[in-house]
Amino acid sequence: MLYNGLPLMLTAHLLASAGMDHLVCIWNVWSRDQKKARVLNFHNAAVKDVKWSQQGHSLLSCGYDCKSRLIDVEKGFETQVFSEDQIVGVIKFHPDNSNLFLSGGSKGHIRLWDIRTGKVVHSFNRNLGPILDVEFTIGGKQFISSSDVSGSNVSENSIIVWDVSRQVPLSSQVYVEAYTCPCVRRHPYESTFVAQSNGNYIAIFTSNPPFRLNKYKRYESHGVSGFPIKCNFSLDGKRLASGSSDGCIYLYDYQSSNFVQKIKTSDQACIDVAFHPVMPNAIASCSWDGSISVFE
Protein backbone atom coordinates (compact mmCIF):
# COMPACT_ATOMS: atom_id res chain seq x y z
CA MET A 1 0.00 0.00 0.00
CA LEU A 2 1.55 3.27 -1.05
CA TYR A 3 1.54 6.42 1.02
CA ASN A 4 -1.55 8.61 0.98
CA GLY A 5 -0.11 11.57 -0.88
CA LEU A 6 3.21 10.12 -1.98
CA PRO A 7 5.73 12.60 -3.43
CA LEU A 8 6.47 12.16 -7.12
CA MET A 9 9.58 12.89 -9.18
CA LEU A 10 9.91 12.21 -12.92
CA THR A 11 13.04 11.67 -14.98
CA ALA A 12 13.09 10.76 -18.71
CA HIS A 13 11.33 7.39 -18.46
CA LEU A 14 11.35 6.65 -14.72
CA LEU A 15 9.13 7.93 -11.94
CA ALA A 16 10.02 7.77 -8.25
CA SER A 17 7.44 7.60 -5.46
CA ALA A 18 7.75 7.61 -1.67
CA GLY A 19 5.47 5.68 0.65
CA MET A 20 4.20 5.16 4.19
CA ASP A 21 5.22 1.53 3.72
CA HIS A 22 8.89 2.64 4.13
CA LEU A 23 9.57 2.09 0.42
CA VAL A 24 10.81 4.18 -2.46
CA CYS A 25 9.54 2.73 -5.74
CA ILE A 26 10.95 3.34 -9.22
CA TRP A 27 8.35 3.01 -11.96
CA ASN A 28 9.00 2.52 -15.67
CA VAL A 29 6.34 4.88 -16.97
CA TRP A 30 6.25 3.68 -20.58
CA SER A 31 6.57 -0.08 -19.97
CA ARG A 32 3.52 -2.14 -20.92
CA ASP A 33 4.49 -5.07 -18.74
CA GLN A 34 6.77 -4.49 -15.76
CA LYS A 35 5.81 -1.07 -14.43
CA LYS A 36 7.71 -1.34 -11.13
CA ALA A 37 11.37 -1.25 -12.12
CA ARG A 38 12.92 -1.29 -8.64
CA VAL A 39 11.90 -1.21 -4.98
CA LEU A 40 14.30 0.51 -2.57
CA ASN A 41 13.86 -0.58 1.04
CA PHE A 42 16.41 1.42 3.05
CA HIS A 43 14.22 3.52 5.35
CA ASN A 44 12.83 1.90 8.50
CA ALA A 45 9.90 4.32 8.76
CA ALA A 46 7.57 6.21 6.43
CA VAL A 47 9.24 8.11 3.58
CA LYS A 48 8.19 11.75 3.24
CA ASP A 49 10.01 13.02 0.14
CA VAL A 50 12.13 11.85 -2.78
CA LYS A 51 14.18 13.77 -5.35
CA TRP A 52 16.16 12.75 -8.43
CA SER A 53 19.70 14.08 -8.80
CA GLN A 54 20.23 16.37 -11.79
CA GLN A 55 21.99 13.59 -13.71
CA GLY A 56 19.26 11.08 -12.88
CA HIS A 57 21.69 8.46 -11.62
CA SER A 58 20.78 8.70 -7.96
CA LEU A 59 17.87 9.46 -5.63
CA LEU A 60 17.70 11.36 -2.38
CA SER A 61 14.94 10.36 0.03
CA CYS A 62 13.99 11.36 3.57
CA GLY A 63 11.46 10.48 6.22
CA TYR A 64 10.27 9.60 9.68
CA ASP A 65 13.47 7.71 10.54
CA CYS A 66 15.16 11.15 10.86
CA LYS A 67 17.45 10.46 7.94
CA SER A 68 18.09 11.50 4.35
CA ARG A 69 19.46 8.70 2.19
CA LEU A 70 21.35 8.90 -1.11
CA ILE A 71 20.76 5.88 -3.33
CA ASP A 72 22.49 4.74 -6.51
CA VAL A 73 19.46 3.82 -8.63
CA GLU A 74 21.24 1.65 -11.21
CA LYS A 75 23.05 -0.49 -8.61
CA GLY A 76 20.29 -0.30 -6.01
CA PHE A 77 22.82 0.60 -3.30
CA GLU A 78 22.56 3.14 -0.52
CA THR A 79 25.70 5.28 -0.80
CA GLN A 80 25.28 7.83 2.03
CA VAL A 81 23.12 8.49 5.08
CA PHE A 82 22.57 11.95 6.60
CA SER A 83 21.23 11.72 10.18
CA GLU A 84 19.27 14.43 12.00
CA ASP A 85 17.51 15.06 15.31
CA GLN A 86 14.12 15.54 13.63
CA ILE A 87 11.75 13.89 11.18
CA VAL A 88 12.96 15.05 7.77
CA GLY A 89 9.96 16.14 5.74
CA VAL A 90 11.44 17.80 2.66
CA ILE A 91 14.67 17.82 0.65
CA LYS A 92 15.84 19.89 -2.32
CA PHE A 93 19.00 19.69 -4.46
CA HIS A 94 20.83 22.95 -5.19
CA PRO A 95 20.01 23.98 -8.80
CA ASP A 96 23.65 24.61 -9.80
CA ASN A 97 25.60 22.29 -7.52
CA SER A 98 24.32 18.73 -7.21
CA ASN A 99 26.69 18.13 -4.27
CA LEU A 100 24.52 20.37 -2.07
CA PHE A 101 21.00 19.84 -0.81
CA LEU A 102 18.63 21.40 1.71
CA SER A 103 16.67 19.45 4.30
CA GLY A 104 13.81 20.68 6.48
CA GLY A 105 12.11 18.91 9.31
CA SER A 106 9.64 18.61 12.14
CA LYS A 107 11.60 20.76 14.63
CA GLY A 108 11.81 23.68 12.23
CA HIS A 109 15.51 23.20 11.45
CA ILE A 110 16.74 23.74 7.88
CA ARG A 111 20.18 22.45 6.96
CA LEU A 112 22.38 22.71 3.88
CA TRP A 113 24.36 19.48 3.38
CA ASP A 114 27.46 18.72 1.29
CA ILE A 115 27.30 15.20 -0.16
CA ARG A 116 31.09 15.10 -0.63
CA THR A 117 31.78 15.39 3.10
CA GLY A 118 28.47 14.16 4.47
CA LYS A 119 28.36 17.18 6.77
CA VAL A 120 26.21 20.25 7.32
CA VAL A 121 27.54 23.37 5.58
CA HIS A 122 25.02 25.84 7.02
CA SER A 123 22.11 25.72 9.47
CA PHE A 124 19.11 28.03 9.29
CA ASN A 125 17.23 28.34 12.58
CA ARG A 126 14.50 30.77 13.58
CA ASN A 127 12.32 28.87 16.08
CA LEU A 128 9.99 27.83 13.28
CA GLY A 129 7.26 25.24 13.27
CA PRO A 130 7.64 22.12 11.11
CA ILE A 131 9.10 22.90 7.69
CA LEU A 132 6.54 22.20 4.96
CA ASP A 133 8.67 22.97 1.90
CA VAL A 134 11.91 24.56 0.69
CA GLU A 135 12.78 25.90 -2.76
CA PHE A 136 15.89 27.56 -4.20
CA THR A 137 15.54 30.72 -6.25
CA ILE A 138 17.18 30.92 -9.68
CA GLY A 139 20.96 30.78 -9.23
CA GLY A 140 20.70 29.22 -5.79
CA LYS A 141 21.90 32.24 -3.79
CA GLN A 142 18.62 32.40 -1.88
CA PHE A 143 16.00 29.88 -0.91
CA ILE A 144 12.40 30.05 0.26
CA SER A 145 11.01 28.11 3.19
CA SER A 146 7.42 27.48 4.20
CA SER A 147 6.60 26.42 7.74
CA ASP A 148 3.61 25.52 9.85
CA VAL A 149 3.12 28.53 12.10
CA SER A 150 -0.50 27.86 13.02
CA GLY A 151 0.37 27.94 16.71
CA SER A 152 2.14 31.29 16.58
CA ASN A 153 1.94 34.59 14.74
CA VAL A 154 0.86 33.61 11.23
CA SER A 155 1.76 37.05 9.90
CA GLU A 156 5.45 36.23 10.34
CA ASN A 157 7.65 33.31 9.32
CA SER A 158 5.03 31.43 7.31
CA ILE A 159 7.19 32.07 4.24
CA ILE A 160 10.80 33.20 4.65
CA VAL A 161 13.36 34.10 1.98
CA TRP A 162 16.87 33.23 3.17
CA ASP A 163 20.36 34.25 2.07
CA VAL A 164 22.19 30.94 1.65
CA SER A 165 25.74 32.12 2.35
CA ARG A 166 24.97 34.49 5.24
CA GLN A 167 22.37 32.16 6.83
CA VAL A 168 20.03 35.07 7.57
CA PRO A 169 16.43 35.83 6.55
CA LEU A 170 16.11 38.46 3.84
CA SER A 171 12.39 38.72 4.60
CA SER A 172 10.11 37.02 7.10
CA GLN A 173 6.89 38.88 6.27
CA VAL A 174 6.44 37.79 2.68
CA TYR A 175 2.98 36.31 3.22
CA VAL A 176 0.85 37.83 5.96
CA GLU A 177 -2.46 36.04 5.40
CA ALA A 178 -3.69 33.58 8.02
CA TYR A 179 -2.90 30.39 6.09
CA THR A 180 -0.02 27.97 5.96
CA CYS A 181 1.43 26.99 2.57
CA PRO A 182 2.25 23.29 2.02
CA CYS A 183 4.18 23.96 -1.20
CA VAL A 184 6.44 26.64 -2.73
CA ARG A 185 7.73 26.54 -6.32
CA ARG A 186 9.87 28.99 -8.28
CA HIS A 187 9.19 29.84 -11.89
CA PRO A 188 11.82 28.18 -14.13
CA TYR A 189 12.78 31.45 -15.87
CA GLU A 190 11.10 34.48 -14.34
CA SER A 191 11.91 36.12 -11.00
CA THR A 192 8.75 34.87 -9.31
CA PHE A 193 7.65 32.03 -7.08
CA VAL A 194 4.27 30.65 -6.07
CA ALA A 195 2.94 29.25 -2.81
CA GLN A 196 0.03 26.83 -2.46
CA SER A 197 -2.15 28.32 0.26
CA ASN A 198 -4.56 26.50 2.55
CA GLY A 199 -6.91 29.34 1.65
CA ASN A 200 -7.74 27.33 -1.52
CA TYR A 201 -5.59 29.32 -3.94
CA ILE A 202 -2.03 29.67 -5.18
CA ALA A 203 -0.38 33.01 -4.41
CA ILE A 204 2.41 34.51 -6.54
CA PHE A 205 5.37 36.59 -5.33
CA THR A 206 8.44 38.32 -6.74
CA SER A 207 11.66 36.47 -5.90
CA ASN A 208 13.71 39.68 -5.86
CA PRO A 209 13.68 42.19 -2.98
CA PRO A 210 11.30 43.26 -1.53
CA PHE A 211 9.62 39.88 -2.27
CA ARG A 212 6.12 41.24 -2.73
CA LEU A 213 2.86 39.32 -2.92
CA ASN A 214 0.94 40.07 -6.11
CA LYS A 215 -2.42 41.11 -4.65
CA TYR A 216 -4.10 41.21 -8.05
CA LYS A 217 -3.21 37.77 -9.35
CA ARG A 218 -3.88 34.29 -7.95
CA TYR A 219 -4.80 30.80 -9.14
CA GLU A 220 -8.02 29.76 -7.44
CA SER A 221 -10.31 27.20 -9.08
CA HIS A 222 -9.00 24.18 -7.14
CA GLY A 223 -9.45 23.24 -3.48
CA VAL A 224 -6.91 22.46 -0.77
CA SER A 225 -9.13 21.72 2.27
CA GLY A 226 -6.22 21.02 4.60
CA PHE A 227 -4.50 18.41 2.40
CA PRO A 228 -0.72 18.77 1.71
CA ILE A 229 -1.40 19.57 -1.93
CA LYS A 230 1.49 20.39 -4.25
CA CYS A 231 1.75 22.40 -7.45
CA ASN A 232 4.37 22.52 -10.22
CA PHE A 233 5.36 24.56 -13.26
CA SER A 234 5.70 23.09 -16.73
CA LEU A 235 9.23 22.98 -18.11
CA ASP A 236 8.66 26.10 -20.24
CA GLY A 237 6.94 27.92 -17.38
CA LYS A 238 3.78 28.62 -19.38
CA ARG A 239 1.52 26.40 -17.30
CA LEU A 240 1.01 25.84 -13.60
CA ALA A 241 -0.52 22.56 -12.44
CA SER A 242 -2.03 21.90 -9.04
CA GLY A 243 -3.55 18.96 -7.27
CA SER A 244 -6.93 19.44 -5.64
CA SER A 245 -9.08 18.03 -2.83
CA ASP A 246 -11.72 16.96 -5.40
CA GLY A 247 -9.34 14.42 -6.98
CA CYS A 248 -8.44 16.47 -10.07
CA ILE A 249 -5.41 18.13 -11.64
CA TYR A 250 -6.06 21.81 -12.36
CA LEU A 251 -4.07 23.49 -15.12
CA TYR A 252 -3.64 27.26 -15.24
CA ASP A 253 -2.13 29.69 -17.72
CA TYR A 254 0.82 31.17 -15.83
CA GLN A 255 0.70 34.67 -17.31
CA SER A 256 -3.03 35.31 -17.06
CA SER A 257 -3.73 32.98 -14.07
CA ASN A 258 -6.78 31.76 -16.00
CA PHE A 259 -8.04 28.23 -15.40
CA VAL A 260 -7.39 26.13 -18.54
CA GLN A 261 -8.23 22.48 -17.93
CA LYS A 262 -9.27 19.94 -15.29
CA ILE A 263 -8.20 16.27 -15.36
CA LYS A 264 -9.90 13.73 -13.09
CA THR A 265 -7.37 11.42 -11.38
CA SER A 266 -9.16 9.78 -8.45
CA ASP A 267 -12.19 9.89 -6.17
CA GLN A 268 -9.87 11.07 -3.41
CA ALA A 269 -7.67 14.17 -3.18
CA CYS A 270 -4.95 14.62 -5.80
CA ILE A 271 -1.88 15.44 -3.69
CA ASP A 272 1.07 15.92 -6.04
CA VAL A 273 1.70 16.64 -9.72
CA ALA A 274 4.89 16.48 -11.80
CA PHE A 275 5.46 17.47 -15.42
CA HIS A 276 7.65 15.25 -17.58
CA PRO A 277 11.12 16.87 -17.91
CA VAL A 278 11.23 16.34 -21.71
CA MET A 279 7.72 15.67 -23.01
CA PRO A 280 5.70 18.87 -22.47
CA ASN A 281 2.28 17.19 -22.61
CA ALA A 282 2.96 14.40 -20.10
CA ILE A 283 2.04 14.87 -16.44
CA ALA A 284 1.99 12.51 -13.46
CA SER A 285 -0.13 12.69 -10.33
CA CYS A 286 -0.63 10.83 -7.09
CA SER A 287 -3.71 10.64 -4.92
CA TRP A 288 -4.66 10.25 -1.27
CA ASP A 289 -5.66 6.64 -1.94
CA GLY A 290 -2.09 5.79 -3.01
CA SER A 291 -2.75 5.60 -6.76
CA ILE A 292 -0.36 7.04 -9.37
CA SER A 293 -1.54 8.23 -12.80
CA VAL A 294 0.27 9.47 -15.89
CA PHE A 295 -1.55 11.49 -18.56
CA GLU A 296 -0.62 12.73 -22.04
| Tens-place pLDDT, residues 272-293 | 999 988 887 889 999 999 899 9
In the predicted model, is pLDDT for residue 4 greater than 90?
A: no
| pLDDT of 179 over the 70 cut | yes
Domain boundaries of the chain, sorted by first residue = 1-95
Question: pLDDT digit string (tens) for 153-166?
Answer: 555 779 999 999 99
- Please tell me the number of Cα atoms within 13 Å of 15 on its side-chain side: 24
Predicted model pTM: 0.92
> Reduced to 3 DSSP states, what percent helix, strand and coil does the chain have, rounded to the nearest 5?
0, 50, 50
Please report the pLDDT score of residue 3 as a whole number. Answer: 36
pLDDT at 151: 55
- Going across the sheet that includes 58-63, the strands are 47-52, 58-63, 67-72, 77-83
Tell me what the mean pLDDT of segment 236-247 comes to: 97
Summarize pLDDT for 227-241 with one digit per residue, the tens.
999 999 999 999 999
* 238: nearest Cα among 219, 220, 253: 253
Side-chain half-sphere exposure of 53, counting CA atoms within 13 A: 17
Domain 1-95: which CATH class?
Answer: mainly beta
For range 121-149, the mean pLDDT: 93
Q: What is the mean pLDDT of the chain?
A: 91
Chain-centroid distance of CA 114 in Å reads: 20
Question: Is the confidence at residue 242, as pLDDT, over 90?
Answer: yes
Q: How, if at all, do strands 119-124 and 110-114 pair?
A: antiparallel
